[in-house]
Copies of this chain bind each other. A is one copy, B any other.
Amino acid sequence: MMALAAEELRGLGASVSLVGSGSQQLPDGQTLPIPPIILAELGDEPEKPTVCFYGHLDVQPAAQANGWLTDPYTLTEVDGKLYGRGATDNKGPVLAWMNAVGTFRALEEDLPVNIKFILEGMEEAGSVALKELVAREKDGFFSSVDCIVISDNLWVSQRRPALIYGTRGNSYFMVEVRCRDQDFHSGTFGGILHEPMADLVALLGSLTDSSGRILIPGIYDHVAPVTEEERDMYSAIELDLEEYRNSSQVKTFLFDTKEEILMHLWRYPSLSIHGIEGAFDEPGTKTVIPGRVTGKFSIRLVPHMNLSVVEKQVKQHLQYIFAQRNSSNQMAVSMVLGLHPWIANIKDPQYLAAERAIKTVFGTEPDMIRDGSTIPIAKTFQDIIQKSVVMLPLGAVDDGEHSQNEKINRRNYIEGSKLVAAFFLEMVQLQEVAGTSP
């Protein structure tokens, strides 16, 4: 896949390097080489702005037996929808960017901007090795970059385009409760043990109330207060609640209004319990008292929550709850993953350029939205190379990334390609305006 993309980019006239990125050890001990990362460049004229596009070519697993109506690895058009694994996440958008570049070449027009591509093949596996490369290339590949554009999310609507100016972070916790390493038979030991599952269930049950509010003391202290301006932005977003309920197959959400729902997805923290490792998880019945169990939960972080403060609050809370139980088991809490939230300044010129390009291509203002998920690479770019990031999604809300029957609409793919080209043109115009101002 990486070689194919490199070939395409060379065909567009780019100078391309495939950067080897070492190998990865899987949990089963197997060692696999990491796909090389593509760094490609078209143009280096100092008077032009330099736009860097980040995308990925790896995909989630897919098997037709798993509920796909078409072969997931053969792009199939049905009623204006292009079905296939990776159609929207993220191969389709990568192609839209290549199309935009290709169009200028086909028209024998000069590219209005210098363009760089950074394409990886490990995004779905946590972008292993990307951070190191970005740090290494800070003063090389990235030194001339003015802004980075990512098209790896979706609109919030089926029809109306969007611009994304923030993503939540994530802090992932594991809490282990251990009596002994082996399991017990519930007939032989049931009744005389502090059972690890009972402790763990009490710990996990102390994290939220039935309305989803996080009960960890202090956790909301650093959440940015909602401003009037922000409230207006949320009201302006197009979201058909009925359609949203239907498409997500959820009868009732915790909140009733569009504004509350979106704010709780984007600008408030949330806590989800993912599961338990070490307990009986198979179908059927087993009369086991698990001897050591690990609960897994994570908190989505928003500005201005601080990872290390959250870590401390969670640990203190769980230690307090555990101490209350007077259990003879051992408890251990660790934060195994910590990703900062990301937020952009929507007054930055590249946001203005993207907004104008959207108006040109789609004839409408974009929804100004956030993403409740974490796109760690955005924060990485922002932190390491200190360049601003724009998220310019091309796919629609119902594209089904990570699901069966993933698709991108023909309209989104074609207009998306135009949007990228329009964005190039707007970037130049903005630079010219800036250049002529005093």
Contacts and interface: CB of A to CB of B under 8 A. Distances in A.
Contacts of A271: 190
A275 interface: yes
Contacts of A192: 212, 253-255, 261, 264-265, 270
A290 interface: yes
A185 B402 CA distance: 9
A198 B186 contact: no
Contacts of A265: 188-192
Given A190-B270, A201-B201, A212-B198, A280 B296 contact: yes
Contacts of A204: 197, 201, 205
B300 A270 contact: no
Contacts of A188: 265, 372-373
Interface in A264-280: 264-265, 268-277, 279-280
A205 B208 contact: no
B180 A272 contact: no
Given A296-B280, A300-B187, A337-B285, A272 B197 contact: yes
A172 interface: yes
Contact of A285 (B172, B179, B287): B172
Nearest to A262: B192
Interface stretch (A51-59, A69-77, A105-113, A243-251): A243-251
A325 interface: yes
Nearest to A282: B277
B272 A179 contact: no
B187 A284 contact: no
A275 B288 contact: yes
A288 B371 CA distance: 16
A296 B288 CA distance: 10
B194 A336 contact: no
A143 B264 CA distance: 71
A326 interface: yes
Nearest to A198: B208
A67 to B, nearest CB: 9
Contacts of A276: 275-276, 279, 281
A327 B209 CA distance: 11
A21 interface: no
| Interface size grouping (class) on chain A | 35 or more
Nearest to A326: B210
B194 A254 contact: yes
A179 B248 CA distance: 11
A280 B287 contact: no
A369 to B, nearest CB: 12
A172 B187 CA distance: 12
Contacts of A190: 265, 270-272, 300, 372
Contact of A197 (B180, B275, B328): B275
Contacts of A250: 179-180, 189, 193, 328
Residue among A170, A188, A277, A336 having the largest count of chain B Cβ atoms under 10 Å: A188
Given A192-B254, A197-B272, A326-B210, A373 B185 contact: yes
A333 to B, nearest CB: 15
A313 interface: no
A431 interface: no
Interface in A191-243: 191-195, 197-199, 201-202, 204-205, 208, 210, 212
29 contacts: A27-B284, A186-B298, A187-B371, A187-B374, A189-B250, A189-B265, A191-B300, A192-B212, A192-B261, A192-B265, A194-B212, A194-B254, A198-B212, A199-B210, A204-B205, A210-B326, A251-B328, A272-B289, A273-B279, A274-B285, A274-B287, A274-B289, A275-B280, A275-B288, A277-B280, A277-B283, A281-B281, A285-B298, A285-B337
